[in-house]
Amino acid sequence: MSAFTPKPWPRKLRSGEWFGGTGRDHIYHRSWMKNQGLPADLFDGRPVIGICNTWSELTPCNAHLRDLAERVKHGIYEAGGLPVEFPVFSTGESSLRPTAMMYRNLAAMDVEEALRANPLDGVVLLAGCDKTTPALLMGACSTDLPAIMVSGGPMLNGWFRGERVGSGTALWQMSEDIKAGNISQADFLEAEQSMSRSPGSCNTMGTASTMASMAEALGMALSGNAAIPAVDSRRRVMAHLTGRRIVQMVKDDLKPSDILTRQAFENAIRVNGAIGGSTNAVIHLLAIAGRVGLDLTLDDWDRLGRDIPTIVNLMPSGKYLMEEFFYAGGLPVVIKMLGDAQKLHREAITVSGDSLWDEVKDVRNWNEDVIRPVDKALTASGGIVVLKGNLAPGGAVLKPSAATPALMQHRGRAVVFENIDDYKARIEDENLDVDETCVLVMKNCGPRGYPGMAEVGNMGLPPKVLRKGIKDMVRISDARMSGTAYGTVVLHTTPEAAVGGPLAVVRSGDMIELDVANRRLHLDISEGELQQRLQAWQCPVQAPAGGYARLFHDHVQGADTGADFDFLRGCRGAPIPKDSH
């Protein structure tokens, strides 16, 4: 049963302020739109739906989205709406430097302003690559116009010499295999050809698939959206149905603020634990919650994830890829299993107007090795762990399903790198004083330090350690990690080094204790010594001279609240701007 009460229809819509009259300004707005060949009756008061497209050939994961936009248009026309497609800044993960994360907030600003300034009543958000999903959701939340997401979908499985090749995951594995002398450069180059064999986003449960799953679990996409491969005809059907649905959402006035309640976020956090989702989801959900004025915290992540088993057997935590996840039934099966286990707010509303439970209650699991029964879970407690202690007073995160159980309780000698350049310069030095019991520490890779908080937290291991057959060491930084990566990696340490957090004063030779069971991250020096070092600390990071980089530096907040800009948190709605004509 839906708890949402639709508004009466028909009524005057927002777009009517532009198109719905006989005055000079109405004629002005309509007549220019008609140069695209739009018949007059399309301006009869029907919902005008934006299709917010992150298509770009510089974002290869989203390069097929124009085709999907056409499918969305079919659905919008069919349901009696007027579709208008528009581009926004596309944050492609694979090429943007210094990191796509630096541009997530820029893209979110673009979305928000485009929605508010244009004659739109609702929007379909077309996303795919990692940051495009949160950026579009953040921007849409800050206007609170009816919004629905359709994802581009993952690539087909990669295959190389009979083995699955997971996007990103295989790259990290093979680069370590080269350092260890297990494969040749020629092998690596040959494997490159098999890594990305179709349109779509990363085929692992990396950040793109995680965020598509988060959009579905939050209720912001139609049920089943997350896992359909990009090239499967059912992806086009999903786009078509999404186009149909947004028209009714506008008529009903079903908005993000109706859907994105605390219950919705709690559901998404639990789903993230069950799918072995990316640590990046922590930052993005905190930022999205900030846009709807919800006080979601790192403590919520730790509390809600504690009793959630990771049941989705996908790389990087497990064996399979998104294609198999789809064939097994996809995210609806996971949501049903959490609902059956009473670990879900079943009544949470989705874009369908129905409850999350209504959408999934009849689905079946078609492959119990891909989506495991709870008693065969990959990790019994798979939710993101939030660590605290004198090394991370504001918190740090770790993904248990991608970590080595034997390292979850560890005390080791710190080997410190002052920044990513220092790490790259020394990690392969055979004289580096390091062994597998050490803790690799990297500083100045947080939101302000890098800048943008790069995905470099899964530091590759020193070759001399790899040659012993060791595959994992404890690593700590204020960076993020690709959702496709793995290891006993402590990330998002807050406050970050570049603002004078305790991470900034760790020295090589200090002892560090990681105690995941007790959620503790401790630098084993006296409180007096720690304070002395902090007082003597000087910031090594220069503020950029100007431009967007300066805006980012001056306004980005910590990872513990989502790394949004301070002035962008909250919902500003979509009041009709003044007309200047």
**Does residue 140 contact residue 54 with C-beta atoms inside 8 Å?**
no
**Measured from the CB atom, is 95 or 531 closer to ligand FES?**
95
129 contributes a contact to ligand FES by CB under 6 A: yes
Q: Are 366 and 334 in contact (CB under 8 A)?
A: no
Q: Give min distance, CB of 347 to ligand FES, in A.
A: 32
Which of 199-207, 307-315, 398-406, 487-495 is the region at the interface with ligand FES (rule: CB under 6 A)? 199-207
Residue 340 dihedral angles phi and psi, to the nearest 5°: -60, -35
- Closer to ligand FES by CB, 173 or 561: give it: 173
Alpha carbon distance 354, 350 (integer Å): 6
Closer residue to ligand FES, CB minimum distance, 150 or 348: 150
State how far the Cα of 238 lies from the Cα of 256, in Å rounded to an integer. 20
Angle between the 104-117 and 132-143 helix axes, to the nearest 10 degrees?
40
Please say which residue, 200 or 353, places its beta carbon nearer to ligand FES: 200
Is 208 an interacting residue with respect to ligand FES (CB under 6 A)?
yes
User: Residue 297, interface with ligand FES (CB under 6 A)?
Assistant: no
Which tokens in the block code for residue 529? 């010594």
Q: Give me the least distance between CB of 61 and ligand FES, in Å please.
A: 3
Q: How many chain residues are in contact with ligand FES, going by CB under 6 A?
A: 10
CB of 85 to ligand FES, least distance (A): 21
Closest CA to 530 of 412, 433, 389: 389
Please say which residue, 79 or 129, places its beta carbon nearer to ligand FES. 129
Nearest to 434 by CA among 509, 523, 511: 509
Which among 70-78, 202-210, 462-470, 557-565 is the span making contact with ligand FES, rule CB under 6 A? 202-210
Between 18 and 326, whose beta carbon lies closer to ligand FES?
A: 326
- SS3 assignment, position 311: coil
CB of 395 to ligand FES, least distance (A): 26
Distance in Å, CB of 150 to ligand FES, minimum: 15
Binding flag, residue 201, ligand FES (CB under 6 A): yes
Count Cα neighbours of 350 within 13 Å in the Cβ-side half-sphere: 29
Least Cα distance to 136 among 220, 252, 250, 231 occurs for 220
Beta-carbon-side half-sphere exposure of residue 484 (alpha carbons within 13 Å) = 21
477 binds ligand FES (CB under 6 A): no
With CB under 6 A as the contact rule, which of the stretches 170-178, 181-189, 200-208, 535-543 interacts with ligand FES?
200-208
Contact with ligand FES (CB under 6 A): which of 52, 61, 282, 321? 61
Give the nearer residue to ligand FES in terms of CB position, either 20 or 154: 154
Q: State which residue, 90 or 494, has the beta carbon closest to ligand FES.
A: 90
Comparison of 48 and 208: residue with beta carbon closer to ligand FES: 208
Q: What is the DSSP string of 330-372?
A: -HHHHHHHHHHTT-S-TT-B-TTSSBHHHHHTT---S-TTTB-
Binding mask 504-543 for ligand FES (x = CB under 6 A): ----------------------------------------
CB atoms within 10 A of CB 481: 30
As a whole number of angstroms, the distance between CA 102 and CA 563 comes to 9
Distance CA 560, CA 496 (A): 10
Residue 64 CB, nearest approach to ligand FES (Å): 12
- Shortest distance, position 336 Cβ to ligand FES, whole Å: 26
Q: Pick from 293, 298, 294: which is nearest to 283 by CA?
A: 298
CB 175 within 8 A of CB 466: no
65 vs 259 by CB, closer to ligand FES: 65
Residues 83-122 contacting ligand FES, CB under 6 A: 93-94
Burial 291-316 (b: 16+ CB within 10 A, else e): bbebebebebbbebbeebbbbbbbbb
| 436 forms part of the interface with ligand FES (CB under 6 A) | no
Give φ, ψ of 323 to 5 degrees. -60, -45
Would you say 167 or 272 has its CB closer to ligand FES?
Answer: 167
Helix segments in 118-226, DSSP class H: 132-143, 169-180, 185-192, 207-218
In the shown chain, the binding pattern of residues 150 to 169 toward ligand FES, with x for contact by CB under 6 A and - for none, equals -----------------x--
Applying CB under 6 A, which part among 201-209, 240-248, 365-373, 486-494 lies near ligand FES? 201-209
Q: Is 206 an interacting residue with respect to ligand FES (CB under 6 A)?
A: yes
Task: Give 127's DSSP letter.
Answer: E
Q: HSE, CB side, 13 Å, CA atoms: give it for residue 501.
A: 31
Q: Say whether 105 sits in a helix, a strand or coil.
A: helix
Residue closer to ligand FES (CB basis): 93 or 302: 93
Subset of 164-193 contacting ligand FES (CB under 6 A): 167
Asked whether position 481 contacts ligand FES by CB under 6 A, the answer is: no
Q: What gap in Å lies between CA 274 and CA 357, rounded to an integer?
A: 16
**What's the closest the beta carbon of residue 359 comes to ligand FES, in angstroms?**
25
By C-beta, is 208 or 497 nearer to ligand FES? 208
* Residue from 110, 112, 121, 130 in contact with ligand FES (CB under 6 A): 130
Residue 59 C-beta: closest distance to ligand FES, Å: 7
Q: Which is nearer to ligand FES, 211 or 220 (CB)?
A: 211
Residue 208 CB, nearest approach to ligand FES (Å): 3
SS3 assignment, position 200: coil
Q: How far is 481 from 95, CA to CA, in rounded Å? A: 16
Distance CA 581, CA 573 (A): 23
Provide, rounded to whole angstroms, the least separation between the CB of residue 197 and ligand FES.
Answer: 14
C-beta closer to ligand FES: residue 92 or 219? 92
Work out whether 485 is an interface residue with ligand FES (CB under 6 A).
no
Verify binding: residue 202, ligand FES, rule CB under 6 A. yes
Question: Residue 353 — left, alpha, or beta (φ > 0 → left; ψ -120 to 50 → alpha)?
Answer: left
Residues that bind ligand FES (CB under 6 A): 61, 93-94, 129-130, 167, 201-202, 206, 208
